[in-house]
Structure 1
Amino acid sequence: MDLAVVGDGQFVTGFRLAGVQKVYEINDDNSLEEKVNEVLNDSSVGILVMHNNDFDKLPETLRDTLSESVEPTLVTLGGTGQSSNLRDKIKQAVGVDLWK
């Protein structure tokens, strides 16, 4: 499974430098929704990483779909909203608590 990152240029730069192959740089809110839907339909993506502020810009139905999705599992970083609990997301994706 691949890791995909969706966000603005500043957010995705570090992931590019780390060698992540599926990096989608967005420039406006319309392309954000389009790229997220593209990643959702890509069966090779196991984890989707987004900035929390970008996640909040998505339509409610798409946010709900992402929040409940197992593949890809959404991980949000940064921002002013609630932070995602990475441990819970991994448990949701794998089905086991790896830290126990």
Structure 2
Amino acid sequence: MDLAVVGDGEFVTGFRLAGVQKVYEVNDEPKLEETVKEIFNDSSIGILVMHSNDFDKLPETLRDTLSESVEPTLVTLGGTGQSSNLRDKIKQAVGVDLWK
């Protein structure tokens, strides 16, 4: 399974430098929603990383769908909003708590 990153140029640059292959640079809201839906429907992607501020810009129904999704598992980073608990996301994706 692949890791995909979606966000503005500043957010995705570090992931590109780290060698992530599926990086989607998006700078406007309509394109963000379209790109996230495309990633969600790509069965080769196991983890979707995005900035929490970008996540908050998505329609509520799409946010709910992504939050409950196992594949891809959503990981949000940064921002001033409520951040995802990485431990809970890994537990949801794998099915067991790896820290126990």
Bin the TM-score by the shorter chain. over 0.9
Point out where structure 2 has 5 or more consecutive residues left out of the alignment: none
Query: CA separation in 2, counterparts of 1:83 and 1:33?
Result: 19
* Alpha-carbon distance in structure 1 between the residues aligned to 2:99 and 2:27: 37
Number of corresponding residues: 100
3-state SS of 1:24 partner = strand
User: 1:19 is matched with which residue?
Assistant: 19
CA-to-aligned-CA distance 1:4-60 (integer Å, 9 cap, x gap): 000000000000000000000002000000000000010000000000000000000
SS at match of 1:84: coil
Percent identity between the two aligned chains? 89
Q: For residue 23 of structure 1, give the secondary structure of its aligned residue in structure 2.
A: strand
Structure 1 residue matching 2:47: 3-state secondary structure: strand
What is the SS of the residue equivalent to 1:96?
coil
Listed as ranges, the matches of 1:1-100 within 5 Å are 1-100=1-100
SS in 1 for 2:42: coil
